[in-house]
Structure 1
Amino acid sequence: MVELKTEESIDAMREAGRVVARALDAVRGAAGVGVSLLDLDGVAHEVLRGAGADSPFLGYRPRFAPVPFPAVVCASVNDAIVHGIPGAYRLRDGDLVSIDCGALLNGWAGDAAVSFTVGRPRPADLRLIEAAERALAAGIAAARPGNRIGDIAHAIGAVGRAAGYGIPDGFGGHGIGRRMHEDPGVPNEGPPGRGMKLRPGMVLAIEPMLIAGGTDDYTADADGWTLRTVDGSRAAHAEHTVAITADGPRILTAL
């Protein structure tokens, strides 16, 4: 079931979204050569703690997971697509990093992700990140009343495919509200004009994921969480929480 949020509820979700945006900004600012992924998780944890927010990631255990997620961010490096567990790995010059973070504040959730490079960037990585951000912007632009979920999916997929990138099958965005994951699912590719009709009050986490090698294949690490490209190519992930309003899409996780 899809819950339509009131204007007051969307304003409350915006406050949770601000916390997510500040956490991602702090993590990006702290990332550098020699900094560990655990350090970055600690930076995000401090932002959430300072705002009086909880993490919807920490302790989260969906059906596929062998263990609860042990951190407040997903930290995915280079060939890791999503769901990377922060560990002792220290960032190296040229790494491509994707950070996904959520917050629960006063009963409402926010969820967003950003990809960036550390040290001297590879031009190919910058193009990949830019394409993920363009795909996200296209998906957001399609999140208008009267459109359908398929219009968002088609907009994202069209950008990714035109740039020559792969799109991991079966992974995409989702509804969000009182919980981090709610109905409906939001695919990252599909035919336009299909799926649930978008209505004011719906709130969606829109999150394209792109694979540089052009294939859609992925594999899971032994930790049961981290997804990696099969061909070893790099991946990028971009995400915002977006409210559908009568005036158009409203991004709730921008700074």
Structure 2
Amino acid sequence: MYKRLERNDLCWCGSGKKYKSCHAAFDDKLIQFEHQGMIIPSRDLFKTEKDIEGIKKSAVINMAVLDEIGEKIHAGMSTQEIDDIVYNTTTKMGGIPADLNYEGFPKSVCTSINEEVCHGIPSEDIILQDGDIINVDCSTILDGYFSDSSRMFCIGDVSPEKKRLVDVTKECLEEGLKAVKPWTPIGDMGNAVHQHALKNGYTVVREIGGHGCGNAFHEEPFVSFVSKPGTGMLMVPGMVFTIEPMVNMGTNEIFIDEENDWTVYTADLKPSAQWEVELLVTETGYELLCW
């Protein structure tokens, strides 16, 4: 996969250093894994120090937006009001809502309530009710760098069953984070998420998962949360991706709204929950960039 450089050539990463003192040993290690049959990331998936700094600055806006929503969200509020907060706060801080007009998506944020798995479209006609659970999925562009995270919010007096789903889904994400270890396959992480959901009587959506992120909204790899151990792309220091399991109270089957061609629902219309973080794989584990 990798074009071999001469040892005294400038390194491919743009550091300005000679290859032999920069990424030569790193590439040799990757090639060894490739010879063992592992899927290794392409060079364009490794983030430079400049990239990481840019993603972190974008994430400052993204998290500030979610913090503000957390302070203001309440029963009786329309999801359009949430969208207004996202747009206004993001643009005032110098960013661009990444969702807005992405592949035709009409709003600045995804607001998915109860049985909506993801990609709920904000509307003045959708009013938050006491007992709802809602996922607010926010993505930000700043100076060409992308950040992406989502949080669950419980509106008013939420049933114990829904509250448990929200809590266990967050635990699934945390189990996934524990399994992010450099030079191991990403399927190990996805399996850790899946097993925790199954242990608690829930299912995980198969068709939609996490993704690489940072220099573009969606990059490789696709991150499955129903994967088998030992499968998938190798997690290598310098990679950035999201962990965002969608955990269902009932079946893992889903369908897409035929009218808007965006919003995803559980097939049995039972509740679904999701939390999302964006992370950097490091030599010792991971660093959270956006949460």
The reply to whether TM is greater than 0.5 is: yes
- 1:216 aligned residue (237, 252, 263): 252
Give 1:46 deviation, angstroms.
1.6
SS of equivalent residue, structure 2 residue 96: coil
Provide the residue aligned with 2:271 in structure 1: 234
Provide the residue aligned with 1:87 in structure 2: 123
Provide the residue aligned with 2:84 in structure 1: 42
SS of equivalent residue, structure 1 residue 44: helix
Give 1:210 deviation, angstroms.
0.5
Give 1:8 deviation, angstroms.
2.9
| 1:131-187 Cα distance to aligned partner (Å, 9 max, x none) | 111111111222221111101111111111111112122110000121110001100
Q: Does 1:30 align with 2:66?
A: no
1:1-255 alignment, distance < 5 Å: 1=42, 2-61=44-103, 68-88=104-124, 89-213=126-250, 215-221=251-257, 222-254=259-291
> Is this contact kept in 2: 1:12–1:108, CA < 8 A?
yes
Provide the residue aligned with 2:25 in structure 1: none
- Could you list the runs of 4 or more consecutive aligned residues of structure 1 that deviate by over 6 angstroms after TM superposition? none
Aligned pairs, number: 247
SS of equivalent residue, structure 1 residue 92: coil
What TM-score does the superposition give when structure 1 sets the normalisation length?
A: 0.94
SS of equivalent residue, structure 1 residue 192: coil
> Is this contact kept in 2: 1:151–1:191, CA < 8 A?
yes
**Percent identity for Structure 1 against Structure 2:** 32
| Letter matched to residue 241 of structure 1 | E
Q: State the alpha-carbon separation in 1 of the partners of residues 204 and 171 from structure 2.
A: 14
Larger RCO, structure (CA 8 Å, separation 6 or more): 1
SS of equivalent residue, structure 1 residue 252: strand
Give 1:113 deviation, angstroms.
0.8
Q: State the alpha-carbon separation in 2 of the partners of residues 230 and 29 from structure 1.
A: 32
| Letter matched to residue 109 of structure 2 | V
Give 1:11 deviation, angstroms.
2.2
Q: State the alpha-carbon separation in 1 of the partners of residues 60 and 271 from structure 2.
A: 29
